[in-house]
Amino acid sequence: MPMQQDVLIVGGGAIGLLTALNLAPHVRHITLLDRGAVGQESSWAGGGIVSPLYPWRYSAAVTALAHWSQDFYPHLASELFARTGIDPEVHTTGLYWLDLDDEAEALAWAERERRPLSAVDLSAVYDAVPVLGPGYSRAVHMAGVANVRNPRLVKSLRAALLALPNVSVREHCEVTGFVRSGAQVQGVRTGAGDVLADHVVLTAGAWSGDLLRTLGLQLPVEPVKGQMILFKCEADFLPSMVLAKGRYAIPRRDGHILIGSTLEHAGFDKTPTDVALASLRASAIELLPALADAAVVRQWAGLRPGSPEGIPYIGAVPQLPGLWLNCGHYRNGLVLAPASCQLFADLLLGRTPIIDPQPYSPTNTLYPPQL
Ligand SMILES: Cc1cc2nc3c(=O)[nH]c(=O)nc-3n(C[C@H](O)[C@H](O)[C@H](O)COP(=O)(O)OP(=O)(O)OC[C@H]3O[C@@H](n4cnc5c(N)ncnc54)[C@H](O)[C@@H]3O)c2cc1C
């Protein structure tokens, strides 16, 4: 049945773009609307670690999506590269956590979940990462953790969609509300007129809660500002990702080093600040003292789609037939994107879902409007 149907996707970050790509072979037509250029918000601004920062601190719901995605990422990247010539650069470096307070919990989680995380001798860490700063006393390591060059990931997703005959990507087209007939959602309102479809999918990241409010629905998805800084070093400067005291360093393949990040509740303000610059730079130098002599080549901020416990909302909105959600991925939208978008497509297309969809169901979390 969905083969004969049209889908409208609101928001072209990693989640909206990959949702569109997964649905495209199975529906008649997809229109993806973004109020700016696609892939320029959180999905551009993020660090791209293909793992939650502290995976053992998350619920089983986040873990299930993360594990499915981590296994799938290399395949996604090579498929996108083959289709578009743009390489999302999945860079598998492993990750060292230094001086964790909850090391025992981390190790117990790894044993339970069968993840390759283990305590390592500090001398082995300094052998592997000679540029690491002094003064650490403990480390755990997870082999196989990658980072994805997310600005290239979204560029590649966009190019893949533009090549499809049944997908229209409309940039600089802001959605201001929804078209309804009774409870049925039939489309969206934009400055350029109404756009109608059989299914409307909200993938508007940090803005999703605000858009739902126009329907009288309350979804606890709120912007959480994150700032990052960037250095450029020799390609082999940092062979692994490292993380201490909530701050991390991510090496790209070409020697760019990202240092992140802040967590700020500042509404929709994305202005980078001097306070964050000083704090991130101090963390960078503590982790990797050689960066004291390097220039910060860029600073930016993005807005994470914050949600309670970071559990995204994936599925149909029962009170409003025709309306679907795939949003609220908070700190993990890049790692969770493949599984979230596959699960979403399974639900919309009526296929057997890759994992149990219940934990992500919007059913119990939306407060009903007066219809
Ligand atoms: C500093 C920082 C570091 C991060 N690090 C990582 C990490 O290492 N690993 C990880 O997995 N995740 C990380 N994240 C989180 C990750 O970036 C997000 O969870 C993810 O990008 C969310 O994707 P999205 O598509 O839902 O949202 P977005 O990428 O924000 O996309 C939403 C889109 O909706 C559009 N939109 C909004 N309102 C409207 C409207 N009214 N009409 C039309 N379009 C609209 C926007 O223009 C935007 O393009 C980080 C985030 C930040 C900020």
Place of tokens 């006393």: 137
- What one-letter code names the amino acid at 1? M
Cα 53 to Cα 304: distance, rounded to the nearest angstrom: 14
Residue 82 covered by a domain: no
Please check whether residues 330 and 272 belong to one and the same domain: no
**86 domain residue, yes or no:** no
Same domain, 171 and 296: no
- Residues 164, 296: one domain? no
Residue 333 lies in a domain: yes
Beta strand pairing call for 222-232 and 6-10 = unpaired
Residue 60 lies in a domain: no
For residue 206, the CA-to-ligand 1 centroid distance in Å is 7
pLDDT of residue 363: 87
The shares of helix, strand and coil residues in the chain, as percent rounded to the nearest 5, are 35, 25, 35
Q: How far is the CA of 273 from the centre of ligand 1 (A)?
A: 20
Burial class of residue 176 in the structure, from the number of CB atoms within 10 Å of its CB (0-12 exposed, 13-18 middle, 19+ buried): exposed
CA 251, CA 260: separation in Å to the nearest integer? 12
What amino acid occupies position 176? Answer: T
* Spacing, Cα 43 to ligand 1 middle (Å): 4
In angstroms, what is the span from residue 104 Cα to ligand 1's centroid?
32
Q: Are residues 165 and 293 in the same domain?
A: no
Answer yes or no: do 302 and 252 share one domain.
yes
- Among the atoms of ligand 1, which is closest to the Cα of residue 302? 53
The ligand 1 atom at the shortest distance from the C-alpha of residue 43 is 21
Atom number in ligand 1 closest to CA 331: 15
Which residue's alpha carbon is nearest to atom 51 within ligand 1? 46
Mark whether 182 and 208 lie in a shared domain: yes
Instruction: Tell me the CA–centroid distance for residue 304 and ligand 1, in Å.
Output: 6
Domain-terminating residue out of 268, 289, 306: 306
Query: Which atom of ligand 1 is closest in space to residue 38's alpha carbon?
Result: 49
Angle at CA of residue 145, ends 13 and 344, nearest 5°? 35
Segments in the chain below pLDDT 70: 1-2, 364, 368-371
Q: Do residue 139 and residue 233 come from a single domain?
A: yes
Which atom of ligand 1 is closest in space to residue 11's alpha carbon? Answer: 34
**C-beta separation of 223 from 330 below 8 A:** no
Q: What is the CATH number of the domain that holds 288?
A: 3.30.9.10
Q: How far apart are CA 266 and CA 225, in angstroms?
A: 6
DSSP secondary structure code for residue 240 in this structure: S
**Residue ranges in 85-138 assigned as alpha helix (H):** 103-113, 122-128
Residues 114, 232 within the same domain: yes
Q: For a ligand 1 pocket test, name from 34, 42, 213 the mutation site with the most ligand atoms within 8 angstroms of its C-beta.
A: 42
Rounded Cα distance, 346 and 328, in Å = 19
Give me ligand 1 centre to Cα 343, in Å. Answer: 19
- Cα of 49 vs centre of ligand 1, distance in Å, is 14
pTM of the full predicted structure?
0.98
Residues 272 and 232 in one domain: yes
> What CA–CA distance (Å, rounded) separates 106 from 56?
6
In 53-183, DSSP assigns E strands to 91-92, 95-98, 117-120, 139-142, 146-147, 167-170, 175-181
Q: Which domain holds residue 232?
A: 95-143+222-306
Domain of 15: which CATH number? 3.50.50.60
Domain total in the chain: 2
From atom 16 of ligand 1, which residue's Cα is the shortest distance away? 333
Ligand 1 atom closest to 224 (CA): 53
Ligand 1, atom 26: closest residue by C-alpha: 205
What are 217's two structure tokens? 């629905």
Q: For helices 150-162 and 60-84, give the axis angle rounded to 10 degrees.
A: 60
**Rounded to whole angstroms, how far apart are CA atoms 32 and 20?**
7
Atom of ligand 1 minimally distant from the CA of 260: 1
Angle at 357 between CA 322 and CA 344, to 5 degrees: 50
Residue 206 lies in a domain: yes
- CB-count burial class (<10 Å; 0-12, 13-18, 19+) for 81: middle
**338 part of a folded domain:** yes
Ligand 1 atom with the smallest distance to the CA of 328 is 26
Cα–ligand 1 centroid distance for 305 (angstroms): 6
Which residue ranges have their beta carbon within 6 Å of ligand 1?
A: 10-16, 33-36, 38, 40-43, 45-49, 174-175, 203-207, 211, 226, 228, 260-261, 302, 304-305, 327, 329-335
